[in-house]
């Protein structure tokens, strides 16, 4: 009898936002009118390496979404993106070159030169 390897799914949120990232998202959300219900984080096909990350404000969860509460911030992740984001950390960084959200994903095997897409 052959055994099938099933990827480990961690309990709780597949993606973690640092306190700095949560604070920045809340700050930006507070400037929106009307204020969105939460933040959608996902993985979409495309980019030089096959996948890229997406972040956008949402007014509610979709049918196939998992909803996570991160320090009062609702984070929506669609069921397909959950497996690609498992163990991922999102931070907000400010450098001399610019500011933005940075994804640290242990599942990534390679990235492209521009750093905005990846493959697993």
- 20-43, pLDDT tens digit by residue? 999 999 999 999 999 999 999 998
| Res 79 pLDDT > 60 | yes
> To which residue do tokens 């991160």 refer?
70
Q: Does residue 44 lie within any of the structural domains? A: yes
Does the pLDDT at position 10 exceed 90? no
Domain that holds residue 26: 15-108
Number of compact structural domains in the chain:
1
- Residue 1 domain-assigned? no
Return the CATH number at 103.
Answer: 2.60.300.12
Does residue 63 lie in a domain region? yes
Q: Is residue 118 part of a domain?
A: no
- For residue 103, being part of any structural domain is answered with yes
Q: Is 74 exposed, middle or buried (0-12, 13-18, 19+ CB in 10 A)?
A: middle
Q: What is the pTM of this model?
A: 0.79
Place of tokens 């400037």: 31
Report the pLDDT value the prediction gives residue 52, as an integer from 0 to 100. Answer: 84
Is 75 contained in some domain?
A: yes
Give the dihedral sign, CA 59/67/41/6: negative
Contacts of 48 (CB under 8 A, 6+ apart): 112, 113, 114, 117
């Amino acid at each position: 009898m052959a055994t099938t390897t099933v990827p480990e799914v961690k309990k709780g949120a597949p993606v973690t936002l640092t306190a700095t990232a949560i604070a920045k998202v809340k700050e930006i959300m507070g400037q929106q009118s009307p204020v969105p219900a939460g933040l959608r984080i996902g993985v979409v096909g495309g980019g030089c390496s096959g996948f890229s990350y997406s972040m956008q404000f949402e007014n509610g969860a979709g049918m196939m979404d998992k909803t996570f509460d991160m320090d009062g911030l609702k984070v929506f992740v669609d069921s397909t993106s959950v497996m690609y984001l498992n163990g991922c950390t999102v931070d907000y960084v400010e450098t001399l070159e610019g500011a933005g959200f940075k994804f640290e994903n242990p599942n990534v095997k390679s990235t492209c030169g521009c750093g905005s897409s990846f493959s697993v």
